[in-house]
Structure 1
Amino acid sequence: MIKKIIAAVVLVSLLTVAIVQAMDKKTEAPETTSQASANNEGLSIGAKAPDFELKTLTGETVKLSDLKGKKVMLNFWATWCPPCKAEMPEMEQFSKQAGDDVVILAVNIDPQLDVQGFVNENKITFPVLLDAEDKVNEAYQVLSIPTTYFINSKGVIKNKFTGSMTLDVMKDFTEKLK
């Protein structure tokens, strides 16, 4: 009986030590504050937008750095995502109203699915880019979709919106870009 009690005490002690050590690892501070915000929130506002090159559904190549001088609304989405589907009609409407100095790029993160069917069904006319290797998604540290980055004409991230956007939000954020 005493052996069972001792074994139980040792087991509980070991379990407690393991839990405490696991909790300590989770609460260790990252090396820098900017690293903490990047890990938790994606790229920070004021950061230079990482350059990338992706193909569109039509096979054309789009390179972000080629768009310098234009305002860019960079949207990350997927065909299976309900909030992404909800914002697409307003993004299409915005693309028709936006001036020549605004470019909408919709980066699809699930190109193995029927993206072309989705685009046809929703009558989307703005460029849909295919992130087949997930490199751009990773570079922009997208944690949830839809996520949209607003990049000014100098290639700097000026704002970020997570979730489904309305037409008014799109207009407001792009008007604030220089």
Structure 2
Amino acid sequence: MNKKSIGIIILIGVLLAGLYYLTMGKKVEVIPPQDNAVEERNEEDQAASQEKQVFEIEVGKEAPNFTLRNLDGEEISLQDYRGKIVLINFWATWCVYCDIEMPDLQKLDKENEDLVVLAVDVMEDKEAVEKYIKEGGYDFEVVLDEDGAIAKTYLVSGYPASYFVDEEGIFQGSVPGMMTYEQMNQALQHIRENK
């Protein structure tokens, strides 16, 4: 091999390692949510948004309660789950990373008696959500944020997004993007150890 070929191979290796680090190799920590809105805003809008974030949802403060209907038409409130850790997962049926994450959410929900997975589908038809959940064989609680108001309250900027609330209803932090099963367990253990 000549020097140019070796250089290209090394470059590809570095790029692949960087991609792995960005997607799978990161150690996930439960972190406060950040407002990474899709649309660009000027600096004044960003400052106002940050002030709003601190006011509406803050680690160590009570998580904003909400009431939404589940797939059976029953009203479900976040406060219904006091006494359990709640993983609020904002998602959509068209989201590829949500689809990858769903089996791990199901496994986590089944394996942990002190945890409830509350999957909040954002702005989709009930029929599409029902079909997706049935085909996947998922039986954790699914509620419908039909107008996206709860996702806005929680400053969701992309899917999936997971928010952790402890047994007393206190917001513990969030993880933007898809998590692996191991990362979910790390976040759960972090909450248990920091009561």
TM-score, normalised relative to structure 1: 0.75
- Amino acid aligned to 1:27: E
Partner of 2:175, secondary structure, is: strand
1:169 equivalenced with 2:183 (yes/no): yes
CA contact 2:109–2:117 (8 Å) conserved in 1 = yes
Q: Which amino acid aligns with 2:51?
A: Q
Q: What is the match of residue 106 of structure 1?
A: 119
AA partner of residue 116 (structure 2): V
Write the distance in 2 (CA, Å) between the matches of 1:126 and 1:77. 13
Q: State the match for 1:26 in structure 2.
A: 42
Q: Take 2:98 and 2:48, find their aligned partners in 1: how far apart are those partners? A: 34
**Which has more radius of gyration?**
1
RMSD: 2.2
| In the alignment, structure 1 residue 116 sits paired with structure 2 residue 130 | yes
Aligned mates of 1:60, 1:130 — CA distance in 2: 11
- What's the counterpart of residue 85 of structure 1? 99
Shift of 1:31: 5.8
Extract unaligned runs of 5+ from structure 1: 1-24
Paired positions, count: 149
Q: 2:80 aligns with which of 41, 45, 66?
A: 66
Residues in 2 aligned to 1:51 and 1:166: alpha-carbon distance in whole angstroms: 27
Going from structure 1 to structure 2, the CA distance change for 1:31 and 1:94 (only over 3 Å counts) comes to: closer
| 1:52, distance to aligned residue in structure 2 (A) | 0.5
1:27-84 deviation digits (Å, cap 9, x = unpaired): 347369x517x28xx9442232100011111222211112112110000000011111
Shift of 1:105: 0.1
Q: 4+ runs of 1 displaced by more than 4 Å?
A: none
From 146, 156, 171, the equivalent of 1:142 is: 156
Task: Give the match for residue 51 of structure 2.
Answer: 35
Q: Give the 3-state SS of the residue equivalent to 1:105 in structure 2.
A: strand
User: Contact (CA 8 Å) 1:49, 1:155: kept in 2 or not?
Assistant: yes
SS in 2 for 1:171: helix
Normalising by structure 2, we get a TM-score of 0.69
Given that residues 87 and 164 in structure 1 are in contact (C-alpha distance below 8 angstroms), is that contact kept between their aligned partners in structure 2? Answer: yes
C-alpha deviation, 1:111, in angstroms: 2.6
Where do 5+ consecutive residues of structure 2 fail to align? Answer: 1-40
Whether contact under 8 Å (1:72, 1:152) holds in the other structure is yes
Aligned identity (percent) is 32
1:45, 1:160 within 8 Å by CA — same for their partners in 2?
no
Task: State the partner residue of 2:4.
Answer: none
